[in-house]
Structures are given as C-alpha cells and as structure tokens.
Amino acid sequence: MTVSTAPVPVAANASGTTQTTTRRNRLWALVIYILTALYFLLPLAATFYWSLRAERGTLGFEAYRRLFEDANFLPSFSQSIVNAIIAIVISLVIIVPTAYWVTLRLPKLRPVVEFITLLPFVIPAVVLSLALIILYSRPPLLLTRTYESSRVLLVCVYAALSFPYMFRAVDNGLRAMDVRALTEAAQSLGAGWPTILFRVIFPNLRVALISGALLTFAIVIGELTIALFMAQRTLGPYMANLTRSKVYEPSAMAIVAFAITWAAMGIIQLIGRGQQGSIGGGH
C-alpha cells in the first residue's frame, strides 16, 4: 500500500494569530460580565438608595433605626436564629453518621440516600406545606394545633430540607479525607469508635460541617413559605408583612438580609477555598 505524503492545504478561512483571538475573547467576556453585573447590582443599589431616604430631605440610616426598633423585628429575628441553630444541630447529628456509615459500611444504600436527598427539590415548599398540614392536623399526629408544636414541626422540616446540602458537604468532606484509610489506620492502632469519631473524623470534617451549617442557616433564616403556612412569626413572614405595611423599612431589611447572606457565603468561600459555590433554596 503506497501512502503519499503530500500535505493537504488548509481551509482559507483560518483566523489570525492566537494572541488576537484571546484578546478579542477577553473583550467580549468583559462586556458580558459588565452587562450582567449591571443587572445584578442595580436592584441592590436602588434598594440601598431607597433605604437611605427615610428621613425627608436627607440621606441617613433612619430606616435602619426604625427597623431595629420595631417591636416585632427582634422577636422574629431571634426566633429564626434559634430555629436555624436547632435545625443545624439536628441535621448534623443525623447526617454525619449517615454519611459515614453509607460510605464505609453500607455502600449499597448510597443510591437510596442520594435519592432521598433529592426529594426537597422534587417537592416544592408549598406542596410540602400542604402535605404537612394534611398529615399533622389530625390525631394521632396532631402537631399543628399549638404554636409551639407547629414550631417543632417547622424546625424538623427545616432539618429535613437541609439534608441535601448537609449530605453533599459531608460527603465531599469524607471523600477528601479518604475516610476509609483513616478509619482503618485508627483501628489498627487500637482506637475505639468514640475516639475515631471525635479525634479523627470530626476534626477533618470541620470545614465541610461549617459549610453545611452556614448554608442551612442562610436557607432557614429567611424562609417564608412553610413558616407562613405554619403560622409562625419568624423572619420570613415578618419581612413579608413589612413589605405590605411600611414604606422604607423593607428596603433596610432587604439590605440587612443581603449583608447577612453575603457574610454567610463569604465565610463558606473563605474556609472552603477552591470548593464550588453553594446553591441555596427557599425561594
């Protein structure tokens, strides 16, 4: 078989040097970025500007002062924070052992667990609210009669809704620390389970746990839908009320909410350097 080696001419529409292409790309990238940034910054800027105009004729933080002095603000805010903390604790206590066991002892259960962690995306908050009311407004599972029992239900639901994020965070953390090798090394050195959990697993999971906790916090703190239908006086319904009743305070509240979310996400980004940004829910 003879194989000729005469070169084949290239198409005539080949572009210029690689350097100009990269420069052109970078220009387009900048244009796209700036246009999108405008879209995202405009509402924030407008809101901030609005929040400074509570006092007639001058720019000041009057709206913020009124917000923080509002009789209902602090109670709802603290309720939300307490709810968030309890939900985080429940979630951590349930998810960490689950992720650990599924990784180490029960790998066959992984698909089932991962499916369950998909459920909060399949069941919208409003549908879940309806379902909860159906299930829990009648004996023997009567939980919606009193404010406190509804609150318990709400917190438990929040914990369940945080499972996807918590599980993903812990799972990534376990994978990053090669949990199997560490556990076996600890076992061969004679460590018992409590030692392994508290001296080996948890310390190495710190970053993952904090990320998961902060994400859960961000979701719970401003959650509206379920809190609304459970007649809870948390930050979400409070903010919704504010939007309908006051003029300037809602803008201050929006900026405060933004700042809190930014703080939470910023901390996650800082401690989890290089890991993917976190997607929230509750919208």
Partner 1 sequence: MAYLTLTNVSKQFGETYAVQDFNLDVEKGEFVSFLGPSGCGKTTTLRMVAGFETPTNGMITLDGSDITHKSPNQRNMGMIFQSYALFPNMTVAQNIGFGLRVRKMSKAAISERVQEMVSLVNLENHVGKYPYQLSGGQQQRVSLARALAIRPNVLLLDEPLSALDAKIRVSLRAQIREIQKKLGITAIFVTHDQEEALSISDRIVVMYEGNVEQVGTPFEIYNFPNTQFVANFVGSLNTAVAEVIDRENGLLSVDGVQFASAAKMDGYARGDRVRIAIRPERFSFASEVKKANVVDCQIENITFLGSVVRVHILIGNSKFTMDTFNYPSLALPKIGAADQVTCSREAVLILGHANGSAN
Partner 2 sequence: MKATLQSDVQPTNLTVRGAKRPSRLPIWHWLGVLPFFIFSALFLIGPTLVLAYRSLEDPDGGLSFVNYLQLTNPTVINAYSLSIRVSLTTAILGGLIGFLVAWAVSIGGLPRPFRSLTTTFSGVASNFAGVPLAAAFIFTLGRVGVVTALFELLGVDLYGTGFSLYSYTGLVLVYLYFQIPLMVLVILPALDGLKREWREAAENLGATPVQYWLHVALPVLIPSILGTMILLFGNAFGAHATAYALTGGLFNLATLLIGQQISGDVLHNPGLGFAVAMGMVIIMGVSITIYSILQRRSERWLR
Instruction: Give contact residues for partner 1 (rule: CB under 8 A).
Output: 1, 3-11, 14-19, 21
Q: Which is nearer to partner 2, 60 or 124 (CB)?
A: 124
Neighbouring CB atoms inside 10 A of 190's CB total 7
Q: Which CB sits closer to partner 2, 43 or 60?
A: 43
Q: Are 170 and 88 in contact (CB under 8 A)?
A: no
Cβ nearer to partner 2, comparing 20 with 146: 20
Does residue 89 touch partner 2 according to CB under 8 A? Answer: no
What's the gap between Cα 82 and its chain centre?
17
Which residue from 81, 86, 182, 265 is in contact with partner 2, where contact means CB under 8 A?
A: 265
Q: What part of residues 160-179 is at the interface with partner 2 (CB under 8 A)?
A: 160, 163
CB of 74 vs partner 1, minimal distance in Å? 55
- On the CB side of 251, CA atoms within 13 Å amount to 18
Q: Which lies closer to partner 2 via its Cβ, residue 85 or residue 240?
A: 240
- The binder of 74, among partner 2, partner 1, none, by C-beta within 5 to 8 A per type, is none
The C-alpha atoms of residue 233 and residue 121 are separated, in whole angstroms, by 25
Compare residues 1 and 189 and give the one whose CB is closer to partner 1. 1
Give the shortest CB-230-to-partner 2 separation in angstroms: 10
From partner 1, partner 2, none, interface partner of 60 (C-beta below 5 to 8 A by class): none
Q: Which amino acid is at 215?
A: L
- Single-letter residue type at 194: P
> Distance between terminal CA atoms of the chain?
68
Counting Cα atoms < 13 Å in the Cβ hemisphere of 76 gives 26
Which tokens sit at 60?
């000041």
CA distance readout (Å), 263 to 68, 259, 268:
19, 6, 9
Q: How far is the CB of 89 from partner 1 (least distance, A)?
A: 44
State the nearest-atom distance from the C-beta of 176 to partner 1, in Å.
Answer: 24
Q: At what angle do helices 110-122 and 73-104 cross, to 10 degrees?
A: 150
Pick out residues in 202-221 that bind partner 2 (CB under 8 A). 218-219
Based on the shown chain and the rule CB under 8 A, indicate whether residue 81 belongs to the binding site for partner 2: no
